Amino acid sequence: MPALKLLSVFALMMVLLWLRVPLAPVIFGSSCLLAILYHLTSTALLATFWQTLTDPSTIELELVLVLIMLFEGLLKKHGYLERMLAGLLNLLPNRRLLAATLPAFIGLMPSMGGAFFSAPLVAQATADTTLSPEEKSVINYYYRHIWEYCLPLYPSLLITSQVCELPLTKLIQALAPYGLLVALLGWPFLRRIPAEKNRPGNGSLPRIKEVLLNILPVLVIVLMVLLLQVRILIAVGLVLVVLLVRHRYTPRQFLHLFREAVQVKILVLVLGIFFFKQTILATGAVASLSYFLEALAVPEFIVFSIFGLLVGLITGTVSYSMGIIFPVVVAATGGQVSMPLAVFVFIAGFTGAMFTPMHLCLSLTVDFFHADLRQVLRMLVLPEAALIAVAATVYIIAV
């Protein structure tokens, strides 16, 4: 069956990654294997790659990542991060709260690969702790995504609301408790950070001023994106230009910063992930999943949840997953998708997208911290399983 081909390719990807084969070759190789299995000609595959390479969304994301790398490099070079973290450590009552707050703060910006933005902040906040690279990766990745359940700036919520014809406000109200639940389920990760005794927060005006001055570049970007609806590319670019002018960078100094900060391997990795997704579209592989699951003799809501989970695993993008999942669910239910079903399927798709190396935030975080992907995935099993179990229980009670 066509669906089994897609599932077998994804299974092979997971096995190779489990064996510590580098992610980029695995993704590019899987794209080629998928093309072979679905009889996509070499010409069509090259056309797919060219389409990926020239796609505006691919180009924009690559540019955003380059700008973020330069932005991070400049902040690090001039001591912004160190001063900001020192100030936050004095303001916040403990380091555990700080480690969760930083990626959550950056998570207010609904940008793909946003965990790459918060990773250096988490690294600084946990630099003198005994946390492993895997534990730092999980904290950064996990708390980056708590807002996607309730922040209307995220496309996944808008897509779900529009496709299912459910009021966005009602949908957010139904999903918001899961954002809180996710934050609570992450507490065991934060507990691994050594507790600091007798260190009350210092909320004096000079301390607050120090934090605001050093966090201002990041804060301006977040506010531009949230309040002014400025594209992340433009927001980061404008703030970067201001900082370059402020620190009087010459072309030679900028070139040196570029060489130090920009990581080509990450840009190649992102291109590979987009190429894999485009190959899936070109082969029509995902569409075959719905027909495969319909043939299973199990309750309808379980079929929908499995479909959502698989689409999330394969695509690795929450908004993209919802755009595939809910048209199928709406068609299968005759256009009548209840709020409990929409919430449950949303959680299933979200869980799948969180638990896959196809998710840019996971891949970029693991790469940044030089962590073992296998251990990171193991650590995610319990909270993600608990989340979907709660969602299933709530759905069963509601119906």
What pLDDT score does 200 carry?
A: 52
For CA atoms 87, 91, 97, 102, the dihedral sign is negative
Q: Report the C-alpha gap between 101 and 82 in whole angstroms.
A: 16
Token pair of 165 as six digits = 């014809």
- Closest-CA residue to 383 (of 142, 217, 215, 145): 142
Q: Report the C-alpha gap between 255 and 297 in whole angstroms.
A: 61
State the residue for tokens 């993704």.
Answer: 27
Mean pLDDT of the chain: 81
Does the structure show a pLDDT above 70 at 379? yes
Interhelix angle 95-106/133-144, rounded to 10 degrees, is 50
What pLDDT score does 154 carry?
A: 73
Counts for the chain of helices (H) and strands (E), in that order: 21, 0
Does the structure show a pLDDT above 80 at 286? no
What pLDDT score does 295 carry?
A: 66
Q: Provide φ and ψ at 210, rounded to 5°.
A: -60, -45
- How would residue 226 be classed by pLDDT, with cut points 50, 70 and 90? low
- Contacting residues for 269 by C-beta, under 8 A, at least 6 apart: 23, 24, 27, 363, 364, 367
% residues pLDDT > 90 (the chain):
17
Does the structure show a pLDDT above 70 at 42? yes
Residue with the larger pLDDT of the pair 377 and 26: 377
Residue with the larger pLDDT of the pair 396 and 152: 396
Q: What does the CA dihedral 208, 211, 216, 218 come to, rounded to 10 degrees?
A: -130
> pLDDT by residue (tens digit) across 112-146?
666 777 888 888 888 878 889 999 999 999 998 88
What pLDDT score does 245 carry?
A: 92
On whether the CB atoms of residues 315 and 358 are closer than 8 A, the answer is yes
> pLDDT by residue (tens digit) across 350-360?
999 888 877 88
- How would residue 56 be classed by pLDDT, with cut points 50, 70 and 90? confident
- How would residue 289 be classed by pLDDT, with cut points 50, 70 and 90? low
Average the pLDDT over 192-208 and give the result: 64
Residue with the larger pLDDT of the pair 295 and 40: 40
- Closest-CA residue to 20 (of 366, 320, 326, 383): 366
- The secondary structure of the chain, three-state, reads CHHHHHHHHHHHHHHHHHCCCCHHHHHHHHHHHHHHHCCCCHHHHHHHHHHHHHCHHHHHHHHHHHHHHHHHHHHHHCCHHHHHHHHHHHHCCCHHHHHHHHHHHHCCCCCCCCHHHHHHHHHHHCCCCCCCHHHHHHHHHHHHCHHHHCCCCCHHHHHHHHHHCCCHHHHHHHHHHHHHHHHHHCHHHHCCCCCCCCCCCCCCHHHHHHHHHHHHHHHHHHHHHHCCCCCHHHHHHHHHHHHHHHCCCCHHHHHHHHHHHCCHHHHHHHHHHHHHHHHHHHHCCCHHHHHHHHCCCCCHHHHHHHHHHHHHHHHCCHHHHHHHHHHHHHHHCCCCCCHHHHHHHHHHHHHHHHCCCCCHHHHHHHHHHCCCHHHHHHHHHHHHHHHHHHHHHHHHHHC
Q: Report the C-alpha gap between 395 and 399 in whole angstroms.
A: 6
Token pair of 391 as six digits = 């969602």
Lowest-pLDDT range of 175-184, 219-228, 281-290, 295-304: 281-290
What pLDDT score does 153 carry?
A: 63
- Closest-CA residue to 45 (of 56, 34, 54): 34
Does the structure show a pLDDT above 90 at 40? no
- Closest-CA residue to 120 (of 367, 379, 360): 367
What pLDDT score does 111 carry?
A: 65
What pLDDT score does 346 carry?
A: 93
Q: Report the C-alpha gap between 217 and 206 in whole angstroms.
A: 18
Does the structure show a pLDDT above 60 at 19? yes
